[in-house]
């Protein structure tokens, strides 16, 4: 063995004497490669760490409450898919009797069957089309006649339109589905919620409320060009303002009201965007698989607002990631909130509950 080592050493010394250029070329190559690749490796490692941090932040917080909902009844709108289905699933898992309220009854039945198979709970399906105020009234009448109690109302259903459309009631479609319809539904179910106190109303809004063309004298946006994100933002701002005013009016009746931002979530609310020239199914899949959050994680803050013990003192608040969220200055304007509710009363020809 020692002779073999000695032979290798002698061979190496001879090689160095005979091939100095090769030796120095190798040294230089190694140094250059280290100089080039070390920063690249560092960049790649840093990119990986930053992506994981970004991904963890985008996924959001999880509702840690283990509160039971045994004996409670919850109504969840738009619960046949996406965030609404995940909220309904979690409430059912905690023992609640869940009523899925959505426009597509066949799809809702499939969702209900899936939830029952996972939780073994009671899940009921009823039709509700927020684009029709008559449908809202019919649904509320059914609840009044069949349900003795309603402990939780989650106004989750919403839409994102790419062009101006009007409902059969004459209102801009997105504004009615995201705001007027839920407001009317809540108004019609307020009596049941009061009788079931302590109860909660949860309004799924959006950080999109920061981007708005809000004009109290033109809530349907008829006097300006249709800009999808500003119209969407206006409807979501109205949800937050209405939440504040409704919480003020119901504070002495043990009915708590919350609004929230669920995060940027892969749901069917963006289905209207699929017909746009710039839409890419591949890019959409990549973004929502590796960058943004799932419907399950998007439902966490709504579940938190529905079940977290001791949250009553935060009634009227805006939440994100299972904690108080950062809303715009407009969204905190109580005088504007009161004036909005007065205008909504006029548009719907109703009288909202007084403080």
pLDDT computed for residue 51 by the predictor: 67
Domain termination residue (choose one: 56, 75, 98): 56
Determine the average pLDDT of the residues in 248-271: 84
What pLDDT was estimated at residue 278? 46
Q: Are residues 131 and 163 in the same domain?
A: yes
Residue 24 lies in a domain: yes
Examine the domain organization and report whether 105 and 195 are in the same domain: yes
Instruction: Decide if 125 is inside a domain.
Output: yes
Asked if residue 353 belongs to a domain, the reply is: no
Supply the CATH number for residue 203's domain. Answer: 3.40.50.720
Q: How confident is the model at residue 243 (pLDDT cuts 50, 70, 90)?
A: very high
Interval 293-324: pLDDT, tens: 888 999 999 999 999 999 999 999 999 999 99
Nearest to 101 by CA among 120, 121, 75, 68: 75
% of the chain exceeding 70 in pLDDT: 85
pLDDT at 277: 44
pLDDT at 12: 63
d(CA 209, CA 328): 8
**How does pLDDT run across 84-122, given as a tens digit for each residue?**
999 999 999 999 999 999 999 999 999 999 999 999 999
144: exposed, middle or buried (C-beta count within 10 Å: 0-12, 13-18, 19+)? middle
Q: Pick from 195, 155, 200, 191: which is nearest to 310 by CA?
A: 200
Mark whether 222 and 273 lie in a shared domain: yes
Q: Residue 273: what pLDDT? A: 52
More confident residue, 173 or 273: 173
Total count of domains within the chain: 2
Catalytic hit among 27, 43, 51, 232:
232
What digits encode the pLDDT tens for the residues 119-166? 999 999 999 999 999 999 999 999 999 999 999 999 999 998 888 999
Q: Are residues 225 and 206 in the same domain?
A: yes
pLDDT computed for residue 175 by the predictor? 95
* Residues 96 and 196 reside in one and the same domain: yes
Same domain, 197 and 263: yes
Residue ending a domain, among 28, 56, 84, is 56
Q: What's this model's pTM, rounded to 2 decimal places?
A: 0.83
195 within some domain:
yes
pLDDT given at position 269: 52
Question: Per residue in 40-56, pLDDT tens?
Answer: 777 777 777 776 666 66
**CA dist., res. 60 & res. 264, Å (int):** 10
Say if residue 9 is in the same domain as residue 38: yes
Q: List the domain range (segments joined by +) for residue 22.
A: 2-56
Residue 142 sits in the same domain as residue 200: yes
Number of C-beta neighbours around residue 196 at 10 A: 21
Share of the chain above pLDDT 90, in %: 66
Residue 216 sits in the same domain as residue 136: yes
Answer whether 238's CB lies under 8 Å from 221's CB: no
Q: Are residues 46 and 174 in the same domain?
A: no
pLDDT of residue 63: 93
For residue 238, pLDDT beyond 90: yes
16 falls within a domain: yes
| Residue 354 is assigned to a structural domain of this protein | no
Please tell me the predicted confidence (pLDDT) of residue 268.
Answer: 58
Of 12, 27, 56, the position where a domain reaches its end is: 56
Does 232 reside within a domain? yes
Q: Is the pLDDT of residue 274 over 60?
A: no
**52 and 72 in a common domain:** no
Beta strands at 323-324 and 318-320: parallel, antiparallel or unpaired: antiparallel
- Verify whether residue 232 is a known catalytic residue: yes
Assess if residue 355 is contained within a domain. no
Q: Looking at the structure, tell me whether residues 249 and 291 fall in a common domain.
A: yes
Q: Is 141 exposed, middle or buried (0-12, 13-18, 19+ CB in 10 A)?
A: exposed
């Amino acid at each position: 063995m020692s002779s073999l080592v000695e032979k290798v050493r002698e061979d190496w010394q001879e090689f160095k004497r005979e091939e100095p250029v090769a030796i120095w070329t190798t040294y230089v190559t190694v140094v250059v490669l280290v100089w080039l690749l070390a920063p690249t490796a560092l960049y790649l490692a840093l990119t990986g760490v930053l992506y994981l941090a970004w991904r963890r932040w985008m996924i959001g917080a999880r509702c840690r409450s283990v509160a039971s909902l045994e004996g409670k009844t919850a109504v969840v709108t738009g619960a046949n898919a996406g965030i609404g289905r995940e909220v309904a699933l979690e409430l059912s898992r905690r023992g609640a009797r869940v009523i899925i309220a959505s426009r597509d009854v066949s799809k809702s039945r499939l969702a209900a069957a899936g939830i029952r198979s996972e939780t073994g709970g009671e899940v009921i399906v009823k039709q509700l089309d927020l684009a029709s105020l008559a449908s809202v009234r019919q649904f509320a009448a059914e609840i009044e006649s069949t349900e003795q109690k309603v402990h939780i109302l989650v106004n989750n259903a919403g839409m994102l339109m790419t062009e101006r459309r009007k409902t059969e009631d004459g209102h801009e479609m997105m504004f009615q589905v995201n705001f007027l319809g839920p407001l009317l539904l809540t108004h019609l179910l307020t009596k049941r919620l009061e009788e079931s106190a302590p109860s909660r109303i949860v309004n799924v809004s959006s950080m999109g409320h920061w981007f708005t063309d809000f004009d109290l004298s033109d809530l349907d946006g008829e006097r300006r060009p249709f800009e999808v994100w500003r119209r969407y933002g206006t409807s979501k701002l109205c949800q937050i303002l209405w939440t504040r005013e409704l919480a003020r009016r119901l504070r002495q009746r043990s009915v708590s009201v919350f609004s929230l931002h669920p995060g940027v979530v892969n749901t069917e609310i963006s289905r209207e965007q699929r017909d746009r020239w710039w839409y890419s199914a591949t890019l959409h899949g990549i973004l929502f698989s590796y960058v943004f959050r799932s419907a399950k994680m998007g439902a966490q803050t709504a579940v938190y607002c529905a079940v977290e013990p001791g949250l009553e003192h935060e009634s009227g608040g805006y939440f994100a990631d299972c904690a108080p969220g950062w809303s715009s200055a407009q969204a905190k304007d109580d005088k504007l909130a009161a004036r909005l509710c007065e205008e909504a009363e006029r548009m719907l020809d109703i009288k909202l509950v007084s403080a």
